[in-house]
Amino acid sequence: MSKHLLNYVNGQWVASKAAEYLPVINPGTAEHIADASLSPAEEVDAAARAAAAAFREWRRVPAPDRIQFLFKLKRLMEDNLDGLARSCTEECGKTHRESVGELRRAIENVEVACGIPMLMQGRNNEDIAQGIDEHMFRQPIGVAAMIAPFNFPAMIPFWFLPYALATGNCFIVKPSEKCPVTQQRVFELVDQLGLPPGVLQLVNGAKDTVDAILDHPDIRAISMVGSTPAARAIYARAAANGKRAQCQGGAKNPVLIMPDADMETATRILSDSAYGCAGQRCLALSTGITIGGARESFRECFSEATRARRVGYGLDDSAETGAVISAESKARIERLIGVAESEGARPLVDGRGQKVPGYEQGHFVFPTLLDGVPHQGEIARTEIFGPVFSLMHAETLEEGIAMVNDRAYGNMACIFTASGAAARQFRTEVRAGNVGINIGVAAPMAFFPFSGWADSFFGDLHGQAEHAVEFFTETKVVVERWPKAWSRKF
């Protein structure tokens, strides 16, 4: 593959006429692996027009025929899974095992969308009045676009793409400019599907390309995943332009550790949540609130697990934690650890300034455990997006829940306990859209919606499952009457 990534528009690979390209860097090796074009507005326009033209025919292709393309896509993704996973690792730094995991979830969304002939069924009532029936149909909205973040380069477009396609829409993917390579490979598979030109398209770029998408009159719906400031801005601009939008934002996910929790199991699960994917999951747990007597035992177990975690290049089998996305990100994370210290926190394990032998140029931050992070401070509220876990303490479950609810984000909250009553109280009262009970990464399966709340989500309908089906369809209600007297006699 050439280093200059291409756009895929109207069924053709096309080189962008962008004046500028951004280098894509392997964060584990610092090697320059590709260049992402900053596609200008004319190229977004070409894709949107091709999609609008394709939509006229595509929406009338029967749903059972549309899903045949998804069955084929699933097979191609299975056959190419290892290569796609390697590409994820090379561009975003996570371990190969983690990349395989994200590919599995991407494929799972394809599988779920294959149920669209049933999932998009409407409903009806006979005789709402004498001789009158009423029906509700679901129809595709037209052209939709998705704007992706860097941290799951394979999976996140698939929270939307299979549902948009299956419900009869045309769809444009704008990958992250930091990690655009895996979608290029995914579209090499899309190119083999034999879809009508314009149904699925890929346009590379960054903010200006996104703005052209948000302002384009032919694009009716926007799905976006990224940081909260970007999600908020994109949601506002899409809504101001009369578009339907769903924008998933950032996170700062807390976990309560109750004194009755099995500390060994909790530690094993939580260290993977906090330090897996180098802390760059929107469902990474980053704050541990110990309750009552859990403080000492958890601190001791977790310090040991933090020190033991193996950091390395994602394609090396032994690595448990890979690189963070960039040199800037590494510098920011290390600076924020310093801010925590200035707020009175104590690093029990300090991962700053360390190198992985053989990968000295890589952007690695080693797992870091901070104790005594003040609840009202900056670090308690800032999404660090790195392998840094903050410890806090509360005396009671109620106090812990109040701390969880006193924050802007609402992506995920978890509890570790042996008490069903405590778990039930937590599940009921906590202000978060994804809840884990003795689970460290409560990632909804593809047949459930990905339910972020508060500053972690702008919109009404989330990605995946029936929410995605509703998002990509409009309801049409038909009220009909057929008086017998009008019928011709045969």
Q: How far is the CB of 356 from ligand NAD (least distance, A)?
A: 23
| Sequence-ordered list of residues with C-beta below 8 angstroms from that of 472, at least 6 positions apart, any chain | 140, 141, 144, 160, 163, 164, 167, 169, 221
Q: How far is the CB of 92 from ligand NAD (least distance, A)?
A: 10
Q: How far is CA 328 from the centre of its chain?
A: 22
Is 336 a binding residue for ligand NAD by CB under 6 A? The answer is: no
The residue written with tokens 């326009």 in the block is 45
Instruction: Specify the DSSP element, H or E, that contains 293.
Output: none
CB atoms within 10 A of CB 73: 26
Q: Is 484 helix (H, G, I), strand (E, B) or coil?
A: helix
Catalytic option among 247, 282, 301, 414: 282
Instruction: List the interface residues with ligand NAD, window 451-480 (CB under 6 A).
Output: 452, 456
Cα first-last separation, the chain: 66
- The piece of 54-62, 96-104, 229-237, 294-302 that touches ligand NAD (CB under 6 A) is 229-237
* Closer residue to ligand NAD, CB minimum distance, 94 or 178: 178
Contacts with ligand NAD by CB under 6 A: the residue count is: 30
The residue written with tokens 């009457």 in the block is 481
* Closer residue to ligand NAD, CB minimum distance, 267 or 329: 329
Is 177 a binding residue for ligand NAD by CB under 6 A? The answer is: yes
**Which amino acid does the sequence have at 96?**
H
Is 383 a binding residue for ligand NAD by CB under 6 A? The answer is: yes
* Closer residue to ligand NAD, CB minimum distance, 148 or 468: 148
Q: How far is the CB of 484 from ligand NAD (least distance, A)?
A: 54
Is 385 a binding residue for ligand NAD by CB under 6 A? The answer is: yes
Catalytic site includes residue 247 = no
Q: How far is the CB of 65 from ligand NAD (least distance, A)?
A: 32
Query: One symbol per residue from 239 to 278: x for binding ligand NAD (CB under 6 A), - otherwise; what is it?
Result: ---------xxxx---------------------------
* Closer residue to ligand NAD, CB minimum distance, 39 or 456: 456
Residue 185's alpha-carbon distances to 28, 192, 271, in angstroms, are 20, 11, 32
- The piece of 58-66, 120-128, 173-181, 192-200 that touches ligand NAD (CB under 6 A) is 173-181
Which residues in 143-243 belong to E strands, given as ranges? 143-147, 170-174, 200-202, 219-225
Q: Is the dihedral of CA 277, 281, 283, 287 positive or negative?
A: positive
Note whether 28 and 88 are within 8 A (CB).
Answer: no
Query: One symbol per residue from 48 to 67: x for binding ligand NAD (CB under 6 A), - otherwise; what is it?
Result: --------------------
Tokens of 251: 């996170």
Alpha carbon distance 397, 126 (integer Å): 52
Is 176 a binding residue for ligand NAD by CB under 6 A? The answer is: yes
Output the residue with the shortest Cβ distance to ligand NAD. 226
Annotated catalytic residues are 282
